[in-house]
Amino acid sequence: MTIIETRRLSKRYGRTWALRDCTLGIPEGHLAALVGPNGAGKTTLLSIAVGLTAPTDGEASVLGGIPVGSPAALDGIAFVAQDMPLYAHLSVADTLHLTRNLNHGFDTAYARRRLSDLGIAERQRTGGLSGGQQAQLALTLALARRPRLLVMDEPTARLDPLARHDFMATVMAAMAEDGVSVLLSSHVLAELERVADHLVLISHGVVRLDGAIEDLCDGHRLVTGPAGRPADPTWQVVQASEAGAQQHLLVRVDTGVDPLAIGWQARPVGVEELVLAYLRDMSTAPALATTGAAR
């Protein structure tokens, strides 16, 4: 079952297209990383998925085919925004009370137990909490809704490395214990390589990659050969660069890189190399690389 699926999804603000013909499918039970440069359309896609923004064209569904923005969809999705919108003047206890009253379902006992384990006292004002504590409070409010899908937009952007690690450990525990699926937007590639198993890459409002990370990496190779020598015309080159007497090409394996001519070598790529190559290749739009997503 797909936890999020879009078909030719587009969104325009005035004369500017934030998304164009986005088609993707994220399977249930995964932590999907959403990456791309600033202004790529990531936040717009997340806003549509959680029902905060209506698309200009195309279709989007969540939780196995439920229309985005519908009551059933809203009850099954929790959203943690980058700016952690908490009322600074309220106490933690008042924040729990308010959140419980604004939602159809809210596990207060779970939230109180989790905050106690974190050492966050209910009498504290949210504005007096550290950045890491505020992030944990926002995550607790989201998880206490017992969602099937947790959507997060740069939730660790303002956190120090230790707070970021603790935050992601909580997310991974929720996935293991409660079966929550996660869509996470982040610029921290090293963190995503550690926790994510599905990748969606957007640039200029267009989906460039969508699939299981392991399969996407297996579907590409970094090929090195003498500078100035033409690459094999059968290769689909994603990104090319030269350093001294060598040229480096990231190519799609499904076009074939074997056998290699004398002087050429190929090796597997990691997530960071793959993402950076597609982000640097901003001038062209190669075919969407996918692995097993529903279309």
Pairing of strands 265-267, 220-226: antiparallel
pLDDT of 268 over the 80 cut: yes
Domains along the sequence of the chain with CATH: 2-212 (3.40.50.300), 214-283 (3.30.70)
pLDDT of 233 over the 90 cut: no
Confidence of residue 191 (pLDDT cuts 50, 70, 90): confident
Mean pLDDT across 7-20:
93
Q: Kindly tell me the burial class for residue 206, based on how many C-beta atoms sit within 10 Å of its own C-beta (0-12, 13-18, 19 or more).
A: middle
Any long-range contacts for 98-105 (C-beta under 8 Å, 24+ apart)? Answer: 99/141, 99/144, 103/145, 104/75, 105/75, 105/145, 105/146
Pairing of strands 31-35, 289-291: unpaired
Q: Which residues contact 46 (CB under 8 A, 6 or more apart)?
A: 34, 79, 151, 153, 183, 185
Mean pLDDT across 212-237:
89
Question: What CA–CA distance (Å, rounded) separates 135 from 120?
Answer: 12
> Which tokens is 249 given?
């090409």
pLDDT of 225 over the 50 cut: yes
Instruction: Give the residue among 85, 212, 87 at the shortest CA–CA distance from 155.
Output: 85
pLDDT of 116 over the 90 cut: yes
Confidence of residue 255 (pLDDT cuts 50, 70, 90): low
| Sheet of 149-153, strand order | 77-80, 149-153, 181-185, 31-35, 198-203, 206-212, 289-291
pLDDT of 281 over the 80 cut: no
pLDDT at residue 190 in the model: 82
Mean pLDDT across 190-205:
90
pLDDT at residue 286 in the model: 43
Mean pLDDT across 76-96:
91
Q: Please list the residues that pair with 78 across neighbouring strands.
A: 150
Mean pLDDT across 10-15:
93
Confidence of residue 10 (pLDDT cuts 50, 70, 90): very high
pLDDT at residue 17 in the model: 92
Q: Which of 188-192, 199-203, 282-286 has the highest mean pLDDT?
A: 199-203
pLDDT of 295 over the 50 cut: no
- Is pLDDT larger for residue 31 or for residue 282? 31
Question: What CA–CA distance (Å, rounded) separates 145 from 108?
Answer: 9
pLDDT of 231 over the 90 cut: no
